[in-house]
Structure 1
Amino acid sequence: MNTNIETSREQDDLGVLRFITAGSVDDGKSTLIGRLLFDSKGIFIDQLAAISRSKHKRTLGEQIDLSLLTDGLEAEREQGITIDVAYRYFATPRRKFIVADAPGHEQYTRNMITGASTADAVVILIDPTRIRTEGSGTDILLTQTKRHSAIAKLLGLPHIIVAVNKMDLVDWDQALFERIRSAYAEFAAQLGLTDVYYIPLSALEGDNVVDGSDAAPWYTGPTLLEVLETLEPRQPSDDIGLRFPVQYVQRTYPEGQDNADPSASEVFGFRGYQGRIEAGSVKPGDVVTILPAGTPATVHEVLRFEGPMDEAVAGQSVTILLKENVDVSRGDLIVASGREPVTTKRLQADLCWLDTTPLDSRRRYLLKQTSRVVQAKIQEIEFVLDVHALHDRIKAETLAMNDIAQVRIALAQPIAADSYETLPATGAFILIDAGTNQTAAAGMILAVE
């Protein structure tokens, strides 16, 4: 458990932290986010009035049903469950937050992956009234708790917060909290999770969420908000050099010149390559390589809406102009010369199957990585992960919804890719069913061949 809280709290500007709540059904994820918004003064008066009048209110008397702040769909309010990922924004004097409320139902696990893919941390809620009392060790944890934790590991989330919610329903039983913490710590060690915090709280009553609590004098650690205010967001590595996926080619022509005329000159026209810098930096004069073709070029100018830039860094969306008249299209990757990723047609990857239709080797799939789309075929399922016994590797011929597997993939055209551990932006991909256009799976590249 990491307890270095006070040092980090001394920082003035801690930036933006993205985090997601996860866990099993009815663990109180939506209520927890509502409590964070309410106690941090992140709710408008009209929002508060609207949920107070809601016909789907599930609290007694005048108590506010804070879960309605994130359960925005009519079906969610009617059923009292979260179906889709809901994003909310709030701020404290120390930092800004973007929080995603993920569904707990097994059939909506794919929605959790969507929210976690851009998160810096995950808050995994555990309801102490629903643990398997007859079990021992990690057996007391529910399946979705384990599955969401495994997905957090696969997605490389650096910070895990285990929030044991509804402690008021078990009279703040310290022994029960310690049992849950011990079980999860054992499971986290098996997964390889290291930066884990444990907090007993009550989202409904507000104990240990934003403010502390007198209900559990035995707990002397930080509140949930205090932990969130100190976490470091994921930072792209500067060691690998520039990674700039081209999203769009912007072309303009001199006034009166036919834009269909192939003689439109690069001297009098304008061709800019637009996208977001995912790693490294770029400035005029840099020597770069266009992948997967491997074409060398020199940066002529870097532009933003405000005008030319001396240098642009990771996280900024820019337009890059090159000195040479070279072939660059959407889906290409502009990288620093001498620091190129591997260009390959074969991948080893972790895969989370998201589609209700199982994997079928006869169907045509497309792999989308950054803005590049190529045809793909899963050549081999090396194993399917057993989320209960992480050391067990199940052999399988197909993948069903929510399966987590390690696979080998062959591509019809090459892509330039880093491993997911090196850079999530270029190491992540999705598989699309070409027949239905449904997202079939989300993948993280382990290695390229």
Structure 2
Amino acid sequence: MNLIKVKGKSENSFDYIHEKWIFKEIKESNEQKFKCKSYKSKFKCPAILQKISDEYKGDDSLHNHPHPVIRTRMEPVNKMKVPKTTRKITASKRITIKPTVPEKLKEFKNLVTAYQLIKSTFIAQVEADDGSCASILSTKYCFDLLGKAEEIYLHATYKIQLSDIKISQILIFFVRRNNIGIPCVFVLSDSTIKSLYAKIWENLILRIPSIKENLKRVVTDCYLPLTFAILEALPQTDVKGCWMNYIRMAARQWKSCNLVNMRHEVLKWSFLIPSLPPDQFKNAIMEINETIRDKKETYIEPVTEKFMSFIKRWWEPAATIISFSNSTNDSINISEYFDRHMGSEFGSLTPDIFQFSECIKRICDNSENTWKMMERGAQFELYEKQSFIKINNHISNNLELLSDGKISLEEYFKQAMTSDIHELILKILETRQYKNDVGRLDEFHKN
């Protein structure tokens, strides 16, 4: 296939389009070579295109990023020929063809036939017995990926809120491949009760029966109505949290005890308990309690002991499920990269339903390309180099020293939770997703 030469962004610069990729000419080369335009981006794409015997050839599998959106730039002279009033009328016309947005999520499905972009991503709408409802959005390819996945990360986010339809929560389903979370399915819900979660899973299993056969684990936040709904729908599947979920759980309880110092030694050490082997949970809790008693003039003893009694009551009986000591990769929050860029992915943290639907289509198309490229062996190092992955080796090395008896449990707490790691955790807890998270764990018993 021949190269298509188009004008670049700056004066006297050109881009070269070959199939679905954009290249820049390597001017320093004696031969006619071109490198992928993403070589300077965050992807550092290594793909090269070379002219061989009047043909342009390259290895497409080297591209480690989704296909770019190819838009040819309009010449300034041609742009001037389009009157400003015409462009304004066109924009206004686009607004008028959009249907009226309903006030309630229950009426959302009425937009499906009226607006094509929603029709292309709408899967189903489910309703619980109390009248609450949820809308499932995805593309066919990404929706079917749920049936192939052995692990799903279910992100219950409050970070995005629609500006025109009132919702309670957005559920984002990520399928895991290596240490990467690929967003595939989005669910808008107007309630967070167990019966609605049960209807969502019932619909997913009805449409994709292979979920029951292939899915081995669901990783999600510590919210009991959601957890119980998953366990009832998929009793053979393990349900647990990632490390960030347990950190959030401890931080939430810390705040509910009216403790405000997030740099407190007791809280810092409690963050590390899930990283220990199951048989060390009891010793770790005892070690922290001893520290509280030894420094009772510094700590508010009754309050901190109340916090530790919660840790003992919730975590010690579930130590085998919670512990990540045998596989530190399981502790990774695979939604971290997407979560940090969520505002960019949706164009806003408060998009309207039309913008949200259009962005879901684009996100799912990118997820499809990413999955296909990973099946061909592509490595997406950018997505893997996330904050919690960076600390895995550090935690693993200290766990090895602890198991060999070279350091004590107290030394492990001090060495594993460095100031850098702790500041990173606090920074994440200050993001919009978690900042106002002051819910009590007792509330989780409500279905």
- TM more than 0.5: no
**Higher helix proportion (structure 1 or 2):** 2
Larger radius of gyration: 2
Query: What TM-score, normalized by structure 2, do the two folds share?
Result: 0.25
- Taking structure 1 as the reference length, the TM-score comes to 0.24
Between 1 and 2, higher relative CO (CA 8 Å, sep ≥ 6) is seen in: 2
